[in-house]
Structure 1
Amino acid sequence: MVGPLKAIIQAAKDDVDVINLSLGSYYIDGDIYKDGELLDNKWADVEGYKLAIEYANKLGSVVVASAGNDSIDVSNKSELNNFLKKKYAEEGKTFNGVGIEAPGELPGVVTVSSTGPTQQPSLLSNFGKNYIDIAAPGGDSRLLEKYGQEAWWDGGLFRQEQVLTTFNTGRYLFASGTSMAAPKVSATLALIIDQRHYKKRPSSSIDYLYKNGVKKDIELFSLLGQWTIRRIQRS
């Protein structure tokens, strides 16, 4: 976990305008056990995220995070806990406490969920009131669920609902997820900062994104083209 925290801090020191975090994990605010033994709940990672994000905001960087791809209402703690109980049970673990998703649930972060080509929320995307700030195209799995793996792949349907992106092999591939959506919001914020002269004013750039990019309180057309980004109010 040290890697992401160091990256956030270094990016802020390097005067980066927007820090995109296409990553995240679930943590337990409580105790985790295996075979009756108390385990490290990794809460230090959460506290580290908080400090790193606060540091980045103070130095003038906007922090954007992907919401996760488990189709969970993260704001519904009963739903999240039930998901985590099943996941932990597979590892022979139990816990007492409440699950959270970080860095998406932490202060100072623009948290991004995903929409598909129909502009509906992606089936795979995490969601939740007071959790999601904004949504952007990240691909979907509706055609996959409707037609099945074979027809979806052999018939090229994946091209209709996934996002063409780069890969660390130097090639391109089709993929879907909130990690495809967050960079679109990050890029839009970077353009806003440049065009509106909002450098080192993260709150101003975020407010401008929400206020001036929203059409009918739902749809946002980014400065990079006709991406449809949905504004989701945290209240």
Structure 2
Amino acid sequence: MFMRNVIFVVVMLLLAFMFVSCEKESMIEVEKTQSLPDVQQKAKTSDDAALKSGPGLPFTLTDNYIVEFSGSVEQLSEAVSLLDGTVDEVFSEISLAKVTGLTNANAKLLSKVKSVKTVARDISVQWIDPDANLVEEHIGENESFWPYQWGPVAISAPQAWDAGYTGEGVRVAVIDGGISSAHLDLDDNIDFNYSASFVPGMNFDEDTDDFRHASHVAGIIAAEDNNLGTIGIAPNATIVSVKVLDGGSGSFANIIQGILYAAMEADADVINMSLGGYLPKNDDISHLKNALIKALNYANHLGVTVVASAGNDAIDMDHVGPWIHVPGDLEQAINVSATGPVDFAFGATNFDRPASYTNYGQRVIDFAAPGGDYVSLSDYWFYDMILSPSSVDAGGSWYGFAAGTSMATPHVAGVAALIIEKTGGNLNPAQVEVLLKQSADDLGKPGKDDYYGHGRVNAYKAVTQ
């Protein structure tokens, strides 16, 4: 099941509770005019362990099938029609189609057609759980919540901004749920013309997730430098919102369609996928994994760098048996683990501790980045999390604290955007990853290790080395 394992945190503001969900992420929402030190908070933990038969959560079978074919679309449509089905979507670039209306028996018959390679029942997955004198000033330090943003400091983003790199001209697609398009810290950086939804009946900026995980992720990447709220790692990058989930759930077909759209019509340079879930390595579901790989390969071929979250179950993915966490563990994506301080509110400056929840494994982790944590016993433990835009309502634009690899991933996507800006968009994903590797701070064991991969990303080194 695809899952943003999350710890839910409920924050009380003026006696009003706002519930938020994220990837075993802790969440606190604050209205932009609220004084953060005055926030009263309490926590609620959601542990899905009772649902697990391994690291994976149960999924829901859909009525759709993903079909890989080798012949023409016309041949496929004819074969499907004879079996009382309908070709609903065709992903011709990767020879896949979404087919509806088949019975199980007719799906098996379709798999025997000469021009059909595989037929896999699609599933709906919970990809995201219900997170002076004249002094030179770093841009962003005049943002009202800047003192609470330890993430950009941890990866030397202010120095990268001072060097002249802000993500200008770079397009980052956020494949997620619905983004809060009216948020004061996001609206000017969203491409409204190319943002799109692949969830039937919903616009790209709608979601049943009140917290708006997609907004939080987008804000970490590119919250504006506008003297309001927070600032993103690439504050002048363009965000393309690609909605494939609602309430954190969505099918493989949605995800595949979103990837292809982001890479082609939306012309993204970077895709951020702060989502993921566990699949058995050897199973009929492997056909769905292979379909996802085809979509990611196609995006890579078009020059799109894909960044994904490693997962938040504190699992050693090198020794997890028959399970794989997708898309992060796949070769086509840069897989990101999370780091975070303990007691930032009391002056802690070690931002590079592996987060208590992060998945790890030398084989699968590529880089680490700030994701926050929630293990402090102090009353201000939530300052150890990541603050970013969340929802919008009649009261205004809200911000939330969250912790998870969902939060670490957009830090890396933001640094990738800075690299692409510097190089004029002429790098392929492998070259972007090489520059990330060469500029990362090597932490933990020398070389590639379990928790940091090649190291914790460094924005300044990435644009100056």
Normalising by structure 1, report the TM-score.
0.73
* Structure-1 separation of matches of 2:323 and 2:442: 34
Q: Report the counterpart of residue 163 of structure 1 in structure 2.
A: 386
Q: Report the counterpart of residue 338 of structure 2 in structure 1.
A: 114
Q: Report the counterpart of residue 123 of structure 1 in structure 2.
A: 356
SS at match of 1:113: strand
SS at match of 1:75: helix
Q: 1:100 to 1:130 in 2, by over 3 A?
A: same
Q: Is the 8 A contact 2:412 2:457 kept in 1?
A: no
The CA deviation string for residues 182-203 of structure 1, in whole angstroms up to 9 with x for no partner, is: 0010010011011122435221
Q: Is the 8 A contact 1:124 1:141 kept in 2?
A: no
Q: Give matches, 1:190-229, under 5 Å.
A: 190-199=417-426, 201-214=428-441, 218-223=455-460
SS at match of 2:318: coil
Q: Give matches, 1:65-76, under 5 Å.
A: 65-76=308-319
Q: Give matches, 1:50-89, under 5 Å.
A: 50-78=293-321
Shift of 1:75: 1.2
Q: Is the 8 A contact 1:69 1:124 kept in 2?
A: yes
2:326 matches 1:102: yes
The CA deviation string for residues 188-233 of structure 1, in whole angstroms up to 9 with x for no partner, is: 00110111224352211211111134468645421499xxxxxxxx
Q: Is the 8 A contact 1:15 1:59 kept in 2?
A: no
Q: Give matches, 1:16-27, under 5 Å.
A: 16-27=268-279
Q: Report the counterpart of residue 373 of structure 2 in structure 1.
A: 140
Q: Is the 8 A contact 1:198 1:205 kept in 2?
A: no
Q: Is the 8 A contact 2:440 2:461 kept in 1?
A: no
Shift of 1:19: 0.3
Q: Report the counterpart of residue 28 of structure 1 in structure 2.
A: 280
Shift of 1:168: 4.0
Q: Is the 8 A contact 1:138 1:163 kept in 2?
A: yes
Q: Is the 8 A contact 1:135 1:181 kept in 2?
A: yes
Q: Is the 8 A contact 1:191 1:223 kept in 2?
A: no
Q: Is the 8 A contact 2:369 2:456 kept in 1?
A: no
Structure possessing the higher radius of gyration over alpha carbons: 2
The structure whose residues are more often helix, as a share, is 1
Q: Report the counterpart of residue 15 of structure 1 in structure 2.
A: 267
Q: Is the 8 A contact 1:17 1:199 kept in 2?
A: no
The CA deviation string for residues 2-61 of structure 1, in whole angstroms up to 9 with x for no partner, is: 222111111100221100000001011335xxxxxxxxx533331121011100000000
Q: Is the 8 A contact 1:17 1:200 kept in 2?
A: no
Letter in 2 for 1:163: I
Shift of 1:142: 2.5
Letter in 2 for 1:28: P
* Structure-2 separation of matches of 1:168 and 1:200: 34
Q: 1:213 to 1:126 in 2, by over 3 A?
A: closer
RMSD between aligned residues: 2.2
Q: Is the 8 A contact 1:21 1:63 kept in 2?
A: yes
Q: Report the counterpart of residue 257 of structure 2 in structure 1.
A: 6
Q: Is the 8 A contact 2:367 2:457 kept in 1?
A: no
Q: Identify unmatched segments of 5+ residues in structure 2.
A: 1-250, 342-349, 448-454
Q: Is the 8 A contact 1:12 1:56 kept in 2?
A: yes
Q: 1:212 to 1:104 in 2, by over 3 A?
A: same
SS at match of 1:142: coil
Letter in 2 for 1:100: I
Q: Report the counterpart of residue 288 of structure 2 in structure 1.
A: 45
Letter in 1 for 2:400: L
SS at match of 2:426: coil
SS at match of 1:112: strand
Q: Which residue, out of 411, 436, 451, partners 1:184?
A: 411
Identity %: 36
